[in-house]
Amino acid sequence: MADPVSSIPNLGPASEAAFARAGIHSADEIRALGADEAYRRLLLSGAAPHFIGYYVLVMGLQGRPWNDCQGDEKKALRQRFDAIKASMAGTKEKGRSDLEAALSYFGVVERRG
Question: How far apart (Å, rounded) are the C-alpha atoms in residues 93 and 103?
Answer: 11
Give the mean model confidence (pLDDT) for residues 91-108.
56
pLDDT digits (tens, 9 = 90+) for 53-99: 999 999 999 999 999 989 999 999 999 999 999 888 765 545 555 56
Question: Which CATH superfamily does the domain covering 5-105 fall into?
Answer: 5' to 3' exonuclease, C-terminal subdomain (1.10.150.20)
The reported pLDDT for the residue numbered 106 is: 54
The reported pLDDT for the residue numbered 82 is: 94
Q: What does pTM read for this prediction?
A: 0.78
* Domain residue limits, the chain: 5-105
The reported pLDDT for the residue numbered 88 is: 82
Average pLDDT value for the chain? 85
> What one-character DSSP code corresponds to residue 38?
H
For 25, list phi and psi in degrees, rounded to 5.
-120, 5
